[in-house]
Structure 1
Amino acid sequence: MILNLQKSLSFGLATIAAVATIALATNHVSAKSYARITSNQVLRTAPQNRNVTTNGTNALYTKAGTVRGARIIAFKYTLQRYGTSKESSQYFRAYRVATTNRGAVYYKVVSFNGIYRGWVYGGRTSGTFAGGLNPANTMANTNLPLQKTGYTLTNSQKYTLWVDPKWSQYKAKQVDMSSYSPNDTFTITDAAVKTREQYTYYKVVDDKNSAIVGWVYSGGLAAPNSQAATKDNSVKINYVNPDGQSVGSYTWVIQKADLKAGATMNNGDKLGDILQNGTQLTDVVTKNVPTGFKLSTTQSPTNQPENVTVGSDDYLIYVDPVKANFVSPVAYYLTNTGQQISPAQLSGNTYPILTDAQMTIFSSQTQGIVPAKVFDNALFSDPNKLSALTGVSVTNADGTVTTPTYYFNKQATIAANSAARYGDTLKLYYTLPQR
C-alpha cells in the first residue's frame, strides 16, 4: 500500500513537472512570436503629403498588428470600403510611424471624419506608403474660368470660405469672415477639383479686404454677369486659333450701368453708340483670353469694337498659343528600390502616352523651379494616365497569374524634384505594394 502511494506521488509529481515544462516552453515560443517596436516617431513632413487611402489589404489595429495585445479596430472590409469611397471625409491622415524588429513599418492614421484612429501596416520602408495604405491626392488642379473678377458669394453662411476646401485636409478650417460685407466682390486666383466627388472649388480673394482669402465651392459664387444673356443685352466673343478653330468663348452681358445716360439697349445697336466707355469690349476681350493663349499680333478682330452690335453673331478674336521654351521630360522610378522602371516592365511595353496638351503641365516659358502643385494635377489621379502603372503579368508556380500595379507616390516625387527646374528631367516615383 505504501509502495503504491509512493508510486502515485512520484507519477503525479512527474506529470506536474512535465506540464510546467511544456507551459514554460509554450510561453517562451509565444513570446518569441510577437514583434517588438524599435522606433516610434511623429511624422514631420507636410500634412498634405501624409493624406492616404486604405486599400483593405490590412486591418486597423490599436497598435502595430504583430505586437502583443494588438486588437482590431476596423476590419479589412471596412478599410476597403473607405478606400473606394466617393466621400472625401473618408480619407485618412498619417501622423506617426513605427518600425518593428522584423523590419515591418506601421503608420498611425486617423480618418478625416474622426471615426477611426489606429495603426495600419505600411510596408517595409519608413516614409513610403505601401502595404495597407496608398498615397492620396485629395484635390487636383483644374482650369480657371474665363471670367476671373467681380464674383460675389451667393450665401456666405452656406457657402463660406475655407483655408483648404472642406474635407480636402484633416480638420480643414473655415476662413474668418467677420469683416466680410455682402457687397464685397472676389477675384478667382486658383481652381481645383475634389478627386472623389469631382466638385470644383475656386480660391478667391476679397477685392476690398485681401485678408479674406480662401477656397469656396464653385456653386457658391455668382458671376458678375449673372443676368441671363439674350439677343438684347449681350455679345458673344469667340476666341479662335490661327487655323480658325475655336479654343474658347465668353458671353459678355452688358449692364445698364455701362450705358450712356439716356441710352437704351436693343438687338442690333452698335456698342459705340450706347456704351459710356468705347474700350469696354476690348477690356473684356483682354481679361478673358483662354489659358494657354495670347492675343494675336498678326490677325485682327473681325470688326472694330465700336461697330460690334448687341446680339450679333460671334465676335471673332484671333489668339496664338503660348509656346513653352522649357519642357521637362519625365522618367519613372520605383520607390522601393530607387531604380528606374523600364518600358519592358510595363503592360504594352510602353510608358503612359501623354498628349501635347497634357505635357504642358511640365512646361514653362521660363526656367524656374517646378512647383510642387504640378503633381496635384488631375493626370496623377487618372488611372489611365499617371496615377498608376500596370506591370507585365507573371505566371506563378501554382499556375495563378499576378499583375503588379505601381502606384504614384506624390511624397517621394515632390522630394526628388524639390530643386528641379523646367527643362530638367522630372522623376516620377511609383510604389509597388509589398505582398
Structure 2
Amino acid sequence: MKHTLKTSLFVGLAALGLTAVVGSTTAKPAAAKLYARITSNQQLTTDPTTRNVTFTGNNALYTKAGTLRGARIIASGTSLGTLAAANTAGSNVRAYRVATTNRGSVYYKVVTFDGQYRGWIYGGTSTGTFGGGITPYATTQDATAPDAKTQFKLIDGALAETTNQVVYDAPANTQYQVGATPTITNLANYKDATFTVTKAVTNPRDNTTWYQLASSNADLNGKWVNKGNVTEAKPANTNTSDNSVTVVYLDGENGTNNPVDKANQTFTTTDTSTKAGQVAASSFVNADKLSLQDFAKKHVPAGYTFVSFGNDNAVFGGTQYVAVVKAK
C-alpha cells in the first residue's frame, strides 16, 4: 500500500512539472576579477629636462601599471609625498616611459634622481600632461648673475680638492645622471684659469646658487660651479714707488733687531691716486682689502710673533718696519 502511494505521488508531481533530482545541485560560478590590459607602452623622446617631475603623494608607485594583474606596490602615496617634501636628491624624479590601458588610464615609468625608486605611477588620462601621482617640477630657478665683465677664479679650497666635486655639467642634483664633469680630475690645473658668469640659477631643494661659466679654457667653458667656490679674480697691480710700501721684519731677539732673512713683503694699494712720499694711511687697502698694518701683521714670518711697528706713518715708496720675536 505504501509503495503504491509513493508511486502515485511521484507520477502526480511529474505531471505538474515539479520533479527534482534528489541530492543534485548546480553551483553558479563567481564572476572572475577583471584586470586592465596595456594598449600602448612607449619610450618618452621629448627633451629630458622637460620630464622632470616630483611626487604629489596622491598615488602609489607600482612594479607595473597599478590595475594590471600582478602589480605590486613599491611605495605608498603617503611615502612618496614624504619623499617629495624631504628636499633631497630623491625628491626629484624623471619620467621616461608612458603606457595607456584599455580603460583610458595613463601610467608613467619614473625613477628618482638618486636611483632609489623606480616604477610605474598613475599619471592621469592624457599622455600629453603629467597628473595623478606626479606633477611637473622645475629643478632650478633663475637667479641674479654678477656683472658679465667681472672676472672670477676658483677659490683655493676648491683647487685643493683631490676629486672633482666642484665643476659640474649641470648644477648638482638638478638633472638625472648629470653630475661633476668626469674629464676634470686635477683641479689644481685650473689655478690660473679665469672666467666670467653667463647665467645663475638656484636649486630650490637646497637653496644653493650655481654659476654657468664662460672661459677661454675649454674645460671650464659652459660648465657650472657653486657660487661658494668662486672668487673675484683681482688684477695684480704693478709695484711702483707711488703705490707700494716695503715691509721689513726686525728680529728683536737679544736686542739685535736684524732683518729676518728672506721675510720682506711688499704692500701694494689698489688706489690709483697715491703718490710717492704720501702716508700709507689705513684707508688705502690692497686687493685683499687689507691696510698696510693689517697686511704686515698677517705676513709675520713663520716661527715669529708680532711685537710692534717700528715706525709710524710709513709712506708710499718707503719702508714699514715691524718688530717680531721668535715664538716660544
- DSSP-derived class of the 1:172 partner: coil
The amino acid of 1:151's aligned partner reads F
Cα drift, residue 177 of structure 1: 1.7
| Aligned residue runs from structure 1 range 193-342, under 5 A | 193-209=202-218, 212-225=221-234, 257-259=236-238, 261-264=240-243, 271-273=272-274
Cα drift, residue 262 of structure 1: 2.2
Q: Give yes or no for the alignment of 1:26 onto 2:35.
A: no
Q: Give yes or no for the alignment of 1:171 onto 2:177.
A: yes
Check conservation: 1:148, 1:189, Cα contact below 8 A.
no
Cα drift, residue 195 of structure 1: 1.7
Check conservation: 1:159, 1:220, Cα contact below 8 A.
no
Distance in 2 between the 1:95 and 1:61 partners?
15
- DSSP-derived class of the 2:114 partner: coil
Distance in 2 between the 1:70 and 1:219 partners?
46
Check conservation: 2:243, 2:271, Cα contact below 8 A.
no
Distance in 2 between the 1:98 and 1:80 partners?
23
Structure-1 residue corresponding to 2:44: 43
- DSSP-derived class of the 2:167 partner: coil
Check conservation: 1:187, 1:207, Cα contact below 8 A.
no
Check conservation: 2:148, 2:196, Cα contact below 8 A.
no
| Percent pairwise identity | 38
| Aligned residue runs from structure 1 range 24-173, under 5 A | 25-27=30-32, 30=33, 32=34, 34-146=35-147, 149-154=150-155, 155-156=158-159, 157=161, 159-173=165-179
Distance in 1 between the 2:149 and 2:269 partners?
28
Distance in 1 between the 2:69 and 2:150 partners?
60
RMSD: 2.9
CA deviation vs aligned residue, 1:121-152 (integer Å, no higher than 9, x gap): 11111120011111000001111123754322
The amino acid of 1:171's aligned partner reads Q
With normalisation by structure 1, the TM-score equals 0.48
Distance in 1 between the 2:67 and 2:269 partners?
78
Distance in 2 between the 1:153 and 1:45 partners?
35
Moved more, 48-57 or 138-147: 138-147
The 3 A distance-change label for structure 1 pair 170 and 91 is same
Check conservation: 1:201, 1:216, Cα contact below 8 A.
yes
Distance in 1 between the 2:118 and 2:78 partners?
16
The amino acid of 1:60's aligned partner reads L
Check conservation: 1:161, 1:216, Cα contact below 8 A.
yes
Cα drift, residue 263 of structure 1: 2.5
Check conservation: 2:60, 2:80, Cα contact below 8 A.
yes
Distance in 2 between the 1:270 and 1:104 partners?
70
Considering only CA atoms, is the larger Rg found in Structure 1 or Structure 2?
Answer: 2
Cα drift, residue 116 of structure 1: 0.4
Cα drift, residue 273 of structure 1: 4.5
- DSSP-derived class of the 2:223 partner: strand
The amino acid of 2:194's aligned partner reads T
Check conservation: 2:90, 2:116, Cα contact below 8 A.
no
Distance in 2 between the 1:169 and 1:56 partners?
21
The 3 A distance-change label for structure 1 pair 84 and 274 is farther
The 3 A distance-change label for structure 1 pair 268 and 170 is closer
Structure-2 residue corresponding to 1:326: none
The amino acid of 1:184's aligned partner reads A
Distance in 1 between the 2:86 and 2:224 partners?
23
Distance in 2 between the 1:193 and 1:117 partners?
26
With normalisation by structure 2, the TM-score equals 0.63
Give the length in aligned residue pairs.
229
- DSSP-derived class of the 1:77 partner: helix
The amino acid of 1:213's aligned partner reads G
Distance in 2 between the 1:159 and 1:222 partners?
17
Distance in 2 between the 1:216 and 1:270 partners?
31
| Structure number having the greater helix percentage | 1
Q: Which runs of 5+ in 2 are unaligned?
A: 1-20, 246-267, 277-282, 286-328
